[in-house]
Structure 1
Amino acid sequence: MRTPPPPEVVAAFGGDAPVPLQGGQGETWLAGTVVLKPAWFAAESRWRASILAALPETGGFGVARPVRAASGDWLHSGWEAWRHVPGRTDPTRWDEAVAAGGAFHEAIAGTARPDFLDERDNRWTRADRASWDLAHTEAEPLTARLLAARRPVSARPQLVHGDLLGNLVYAPGSPPTVIDWAPYWRPASWAAAVTVVDALCWHGAGGSLVERWSAMEEWTQMLLRAMLFRMLTDAELERGSWRPHPAYAPVAALLLARADP
């Protein structure tokens, strides 16, 4: 059962009676004009709020803005709040997502790497590190082939959104709005590759999507790492018994063919 934010949290952020929202791992609540969610990692939550509160928007993207509690802090009793963005997500708008991600990443390209990235430890961060570690090995055959196809890259890392496809809100007359920023320190082309891999695996995109964005920096290598990121994240849940989801096989075959034409 979902646990709503306590009344004193809702009041601290100026919200109304909370109702559950879809997504957000079942922990996100709409309270009037604010969205409330648990802040599992306070350093990251405060940092993200401070960056997005001050980030200028361009014609290519918008951002959900954070809301301060009555105390002036970005957090209250383990919760954070964001201004609700009208519209809807649509993970089939693949090209728009890649383009909006590019505009967002250009806007944050000069932001310094935060120290908390070294402290995060969850299945996503472990999978990310493994997918970039050229010495990492796995016994599962398809994963092993993808790992073996990687090569060193020189693309410059920066702050990026590592889960963009389902975290853009679309509304008529407005650019796509970025929500739920999952920060990673990787090349911008890697973030685009994660978007493309998600579209291929789960949302009906075809191989032409890969080709349309093939001018991205070190594209094939970024796609391999993005594919591994998603697969190894799944594997973290079922160590010892994990087998890749059937949706991964055709996409992996496409990427391996690009890596070894």
Structure 2
Amino acid sequence: MTTAMPPSNAVLADFGIPAADHEDLRNLPGGRGLTWRAADTVLRPSAGDGETLWKASVLAHLPHTSAFRTPRPIPSASGAWTIAGWEAWEWLPGHTDETRVADVLATAAAFHRAVADLDRPDFLDAARDPWARSDRIAWQEEDLPPGDTLRRLADAFRPVAAPAQIIHGDLLGNVMFERGQPPVIIDWAPYWRPVGFADAIVLADAACWHRLAPADMLRLADERADGRQHIIRALVFRIATFQLLGVWDAEMEARHAPAVTAALS
């Protein structure tokens, strides 16, 4: 049972949610128990930082296609994207399915084409969370944490020629499917890297956590430019994140070992 406090009635009203819907406020699974739904609006705590405001401004106007869509941000009565520590988004139906790797990759390709012309956002330089640091580690912009697995992967680093752009770096569990509707992309995790890196994170996550055979991980990676390098860097990204979070242990190492062995074969 969650102990997170819901948004107040004043916040709900500021985001345009009718008073009649305030009593139907429901805590949603995921999002660390901090996300709430009222009618067709999803509310979650907001830092109100540069990343939050940048994503809202982009997704408010990003054209949707038959291949993907995203929830639209909902402005407050004043037009601000955040109010009293909360942000609001359109609720769209759907469910994730981490076994639908090919469908997630196809959705990712459509999304990355749609955002390919965006400039690099400044907030990326200030990010210091474990995920941002691990992204830099995977691209040799920050020192490697200690550990044999990371060292063996890093020894296999080679230059990557593919250009960088803004990507979504956590897609496998953040693409929702609904019959008869385009897939929905949620919880954008922005990085400035080659699109192949985003695809490789999908493949590495599927191999380590959702029973994609390591051979299939490599086969799909090798269909893409610099595919093996992106897989190696995706594994470094995930493993370094677990280490920085303090959750990397023998069980985690065993879970990742088949994918690591395949990537280094």
TM class by shorter chain equals over 0.9
Structure 1: how far apart are the matches of 2:173 and 2:186? Answer: 9
Instruction: Note if contact 1:134-1:150 (Cα within 8 Å) is conserved in structure 2.
Output: no
Counterpart AA for 1:80: E
Structure 1: how far apart are the matches of 2:134 and 2:217? Answer: 24
CA RMSD of aligned residues (A): 1.6
Residue aligned with 1:249, SS = helix
Instruction: Note if contact 2:68-2:111 (Cα within 8 Å) is conserved in structure 1.
Output: yes
Counterpart AA for 2:94: G
The alpha carbon displacement at 1:175 in A equals 1.6
Structure 2: how far apart are the matches of 1:233 and 1:41? Answer: 24
* Alignment pair present for 1:224 and 2:226: no
* Counterparts in 2 of 1:41 and 1:51: CA distance versus 1, 3 Å: same
Unaligned runs of at least 5 residues, structure 1: none
Structure 1: how far apart are the matches of 2:187 and 2:150? Answer: 28
Structure 2: how far apart are the matches of 1:85 and 1:245? Answer: 36
Identify the residue that residue 164 of structure 2 maps to in structure 1: 157
Residue aligned with 1:236, SS = helix
The alpha carbon displacement at 1:215 in A equals 2.1
Given the alignment, which residue of 197, 203, 206 partners 2:204? 197
* Alignment pair present for 1:84 and 2:91: yes
Structure 2: how far apart are the matches of 1:185 and 1:109? Answer: 11
* Identity %, equivalent residues: 41
* Alignment pair present for 1:237 and 2:239: no
* Alignment pair present for 1:184 and 2:186: no
The alpha carbon displacement at 1:209 in A equals 3.8
Structure 1: how far apart are the matches of 2:224 and 2:46? Answer: 34
Given the alignment, which residue of 135, 143, 154 partners 1:136? 143
Number of corresponding residues: 256
* Alignment pair present for 1:61 and 2:63: no
Question: CA-to-partner distance for each residue in 1:63-92, whole Å, 9 max, x for gaps?
Answer: 111111111111111211110011111111
Structure 2: how far apart are the matches of 1:4 and 1:134? Answer: 39
Unaligned runs of at least 5 residues, structure 2: none
The alpha carbon displacement at 1:32 in A equals 1.2
The alpha carbon displacement at 1:135 in A equals 7.0
The alpha carbon displacement at 1:13 in A equals 1.2
The alpha carbon displacement at 1:231 in A equals 0.6
Counterpart AA for 1:255: A
Identify the residue that residue 48 of structure 1 maps to in structure 2: 55
Structure 1: how far apart are the matches of 2:106 and 2:263? Answer: 21
Question: CA-to-partner distance for each residue in 1:191-217, whole Å, 9 max, x for gaps?
Answer: 000011111111111122431342212
Counterpart AA for 2:189: A
* Alignment pair present for 1:70 and 2:77: yes
What is the TM-score when the length of structure 1 is the normalising length?
0.93
Counterpart AA for 1:74: W
* Alignment pair present for 1:148 and 2:155: yes
Instruction: Note if contact 1:164-1:195 (Cα within 8 Å) is conserved in structure 2.
Output: yes
Question: CA-to-partner distance for each residue in 1:200-241, whole Å, 9 max, x for gaps?
Answer: 1111111224313422121011111111111111101228x8
Instruction: Note if contact 2:11-2:84 (Cα within 8 Å) is conserved in structure 1.
Output: yes
Identify the residue that residue 255 of structure 1 maps to in structure 2: 263
Structure 2: how far apart are the matches of 1:242 and 1:212? Answer: 28
Residue aligned with 1:63, SS = coil
Instruction: Note if contact 2:40-2:90 (Cα within 8 Å) is conserved in structure 1.
Output: yes
Structure 2: how far apart are the matches of 1:161 and 1:13? Answer: 27
